[in-house]
Structure 1
């Protein structure tokens, strides 16, 4: 019942990804927690937080659902998002109600089936960060509750400028609860995602990465100056 309540809270709502630039002046647990509180005050239904310590600090002060992830740079795999079962257990212990993992079919240290089993054994909702329709189908067949478009465009080749609306539509048409994520840097794009069938929308850089936002404005000013 608790999981059903959380999923209902997310329906056609905003998830704010509070992940500052690594090692930046904003990259501290107390700042991330306050950032998450500000997102809640602005209407976010949930937040996405990276790192066990950051999740724990945010859970201490926040009363909306937390999607937790751990990012790792591995020498033998391009998979970065929650690659190990111990990451899952640590995030659950820290207070995450939803745990996201890399659901791509790339070489990885731990099978996705093991990660999903660990998430469910921890009493948490699973979210698959996908790059393709095939990723999403496989995740759904494993009983994953939320299917994200998080990694579309980020597993090789040039990174697109626009969100992957086709993938959102293709996943949603199968009846999946689709979390639209990736390159939603304009409010209008978030609205388009809902129109394309998304269950909810995650927005990160455009809300919580001040350095990126300032650079967008600086680039525009520089272009106009030229």
Structure 2
């Protein structure tokens, strides 16, 4: 299943609580729209969205389940427990995405435990990492693929407006498992550069599926620019900061 992602664009279709897009039917329509536009896979948060989109599209579904109560630069909240990972499997995800950093997990288990549990169900694991050390540890733990998702959103990696393409380059050189570029990819040129650096696939979220964020970029140059809403400055991913100030999907 990981190989099916090669050379394709993965689109993250997520909306946080409070967003005008936050209902399952809307996420399904977003997923259908991005698949019609050429998305090779979709990345989704939560069992309800995963199950509904799995039934509605014919591309691979990468599933995760965030615990928003744990959101922060020092905590694991993207599929943080074995129980959540297995719930993602039960919802029908073809691939489970989970925080693959070396930080403590809230259930007291290790990332290797999560990988083993998901593998027992015959499903591959995509590890979201922030650093080279994270990626090497995730590979050792059995991850089938790693993504640069969390670079810029953990203590010690925060900062930067654009994608961490240098991390993509280094991981491609040092790992034996495939690398997915993810985090702050906002233009076709950045995606093309990520592929040029050897990634298996690239993920774009906010820059495609958050119309409030997109509108705010245009409105900001209008003479009577309004103050953007919170949804316009909050990407779909783990970070709380908007693109251009210091994120990820």
Q: TM-score, normalised by structure 1?
A: 0.91
Q: CA deviation at 1:211?
A: 1.1
Moved over 4 A (4+): none
SS class of match (1:131): coil
Which deviates more from structure 2 when the two are superposed, residues 85-94 or residues 184-193? 85-94
- Distance in 1 (CA, whole Å) between partners of 2:104 and 2:178 is 26
The 10-residue stretch of structure 1 (156-165 or 141-150) with the greater mean CA deviation from structure 2 = 156-165
CA separation of 1:221 and 1:52: change in aligned 2, threshold 3 A: same
Q: CA RMSD in A?
A: 1.9
Q: Distance in 2 between matches of 1:20 and 1:202?
A: 16
Q: Cα gap change, 1:215/1:139 in structure 2, threshold over 3 Å: closer, same or farther? A: same
Partner-residue secondary structure (3-state), 1:61: coil
Residue 122 (structure 2) pairs with residue 123 (structure 1): yes
Equivalent positions of 1:21-170 (< 5 A) are 21-72=16-67, 73-74=69-70, 78-109=75-106, 110-156=109-155, 158-170=158-170
CA shift for structure 1 position 107: 2.5
Q: Distance in 2 between matches of 1:10 and 1:170?
A: 20
Query: Aligned residues, how many?
Result: 219
* Runs of 5+ consecutive residues of structure 1 not aligned to the other structure: 1-5
How far did 1:159 drift? 2.8
Per-residue deviation, 1:139:
1.0
User: Kindly tell me: are residues 206 and 117 of structure 1, through their superposed partners in 2, closer, same or farther at Cα, counting changes over 3 Å?
Assistant: same
User: As a proportion of its length, which structure holds more helix?
Assistant: 1
- Is 1:172 matched up with 2:169? no
What is the TM-score of this pair, normalised by structure 2?
A: 0.83
Q: Which one is further off, 74-83 or 152-161?
A: 74-83
Supply the distance in 1 between the matched residues of 2:154 and 2:193 (Cα, whole angstroms).
Answer: 24
